[in-house]
A and B are shown apart, each in its own frame.
Chain A
Amino acid sequence: MEVPILKQGHYLIATIQAALSDEDLLQLRRALLDRVIKFRSRGVVVDVTALDVMDSFATRTLRDITYMIRLRGADTVIVGIQPEVAFAMVQLGLTLEGVATALDLEEGLAHLEQRARSSS
Chain B
Amino acid sequence: MPDDIRVVIRSNLDIVTARQEGRALAARTGFSATDVTLIATAISELARNIVSYARQGEIVLRVVESANAKGVMIISRDSGPGIRSIDDAMRDGYSTSGGLGLGLPGVRRLVDEFIIESVLGQGTVVRVTKWLR
- What is the CB-to-nearest-CB distance from A93 to chain B, in angstroms, rounded to a whole number? 5
- What is the CB-to-nearest-CB distance from A36 to chain B, in angstroms, rounded to a whole number? 25
A96 interface residue per 8 A CB criterion:
no
Q: Dominant SS at the B interface?
A: helix
- Given A56-B48, A56-B100, A93-B105, A88:B20 Cβ within 8 A: no
List the A side residues contacting B100 at CB < 8 Å: 56, 60, 94
Binds B, one of A17-25, A39-47, A67-75, A112-120: A17-25
Interface residues in A70-113 by Cβ distance below 8 A to B read 82-85, 87-89, 91-94
- Given A56-B45, A57-B48, A85:B37 Cβ within 8 A: yes
- What is the CB-to-nearest-CB distance from A17 to chain B, in angstroms, rounded to a whole number? 14
A55 B109 Cβ-Cβ under 8 A: no
- What is the CB-to-nearest-CB distance from B7 to chain A, in angstroms, rounded to a whole number? 14
A19 B109 Cβ-Cβ under 8 A: no
Write the chain B residue with the least CB distance to A83: B34
CA distance A84 to B103 in the complex (A): 19
**Interface range on chain B (Cβ under 8 Å from partner):** 20 to 34
The count of chain A contact residues (Cβ–Cβ below 8 Å) is 23
- What is the CB-to-nearest-CB distance from A86 to chain B, in angstroms, rounded to a whole number? 9
A2 interface residue per 8 A CB criterion:
no
A84 B34 Cβ-Cβ under 8 A: yes
B40 interface residue per 8 A CB criterion:
yes
CA distance A53 to B23 in the complex (A): 10
Chain A positions near chain B (C-beta within 8 angstroms): 19-23, 52-57, 60, 82-85, 87-89, 91-94
Chain B positions near chain A (C-beta within 8 angstroms): 12-13, 15-16, 19-20, 23, 33-34, 36-38, 40-41, 44-45, 48, 92, 99-100, 102-103, 105-107, 109-110
